[in-house]
Amino acid sequence: MSEAKQARMVEGKVVVVTGAGGGIGRDIALAMAREGARVVVNDIGASVTGEGADAGPAQKVVNEIKALGGEAVANTDSVSEAASANRIVQTALDHFGRIDVVVNNAGILRDRFFHKMSLDEWDAVIKVHLYGAYHVSRAAAPHFKEQASGNYIHMTSTSGLIGNFGQANYAAAKLGIAALSKSIALDMLKFNVRSNCIAPFAWSRMIGSIPTDTPEQQARVDRIKQMTPAKIAPLAVCLASEASRDANGQIFAVRNNEIFLISQPRPVRSVQRSEGWDPQSVASHALPALQASYFPLDRSGDVFSWDPV
């Protein structure tokens, strides 16, 4: 084995990447393979909104990996149901004999303002993102426990961590994923299993529907287009490796050439009355005292207000 090959960060690891037929998932799958991983490329080949199925995208990425000299296998099962998610993990076991890393990246969008959102629009997004992350993670968990090692990398979003218009379904799912990741990190720490999140900023087909009707909107899209999916992959590969062994239960964000550690909810201010509270004293004392620390109704773009670096 060459010295260069020995130095690859995830040499020999078996990595499942969901939603890997394009965009961020594809670039993560390719980067994992370049660094020595054997990859299960999962993608049902659906549209951005989740309709349809096509085995082509997953197999195309497998072909790209094999052209690089890597090992990969395609899987077209849905993450949104337990039985099919189990088949994704079983694909890793059948072809490579083990599973070391799960990258929960699969996702769809059904954007709608909340007062117009249908049950189907809510349900579909929650099932793919939140249930999908749970189902695939849960399918891998017994294997991680038995081998006393394993690694989860989940895609969250500033739409949930901070806020955005018209994405109540997506935001709820993505913030739920952050909590799921933290719970996995706590519950499985004793088995040497880690779980972290990445909030990616990247131009992909999932955000390709952003309107460009005004010069300001066009300028925003032009800025976003700088942030290619490939920018996310280096952090994902590092988190999958032993080089990041101290990172567990964390939330990172990647924005072009910037990497952020995202804060997690903690108390910021408190008030107390020795005699306790009634509704009137809450109104006259507690809320006025806390109001200076209220959070504004920020959207992601308000917080990340500067151009990508």
Q: What tokens were used for 29?
A: 């799958």
Q: Which of 201, 197, 200, 207 is nearest to 175 (CA)?
A: 197
Give exposure, 90-125, as e/b (b: 16+ Cβ within 10 Å): ebbeeebeebbbbbbbbbbbbbbeeeebeeebbebb
The one catalytic residue in 131, 152, 170, 294 is 170
CA distance 129 to 147: 27
Q: Is 294 a catalytic residue?
A: no
Q: Quickly list DSSP for the chain.
A: --HHHHT-TTTT-EEEETTTTSHHHHHHHHHHHHTT-EEEEE-----TTS----SHHHHHHHHHHHHTT-EEEEE---SSSHHHHHHHHHHHHHHHS---EEEE-------B-GGG--HHHHHHHHIIIIIHHHHHHHHHHHHHHHHT-EEEEEE--HHHHT--TTBHHHHHHHHHHHHHHHHHHHHHGGGTEEEEEEEEE---GGGTT----SHHHHHHHHHHHTS-GGGTHHHHHHHHSGGGTT--S-EEEEETTEEEEPP----------TT---HHHIIIIIHHHHHTTPPP---HHHHS-SPP-
Instruction: Check: CB of residue 23 under 8 Å from CB of residue 207.
Output: no
Among all residues, which ones are annotated catalytic?
A: 170
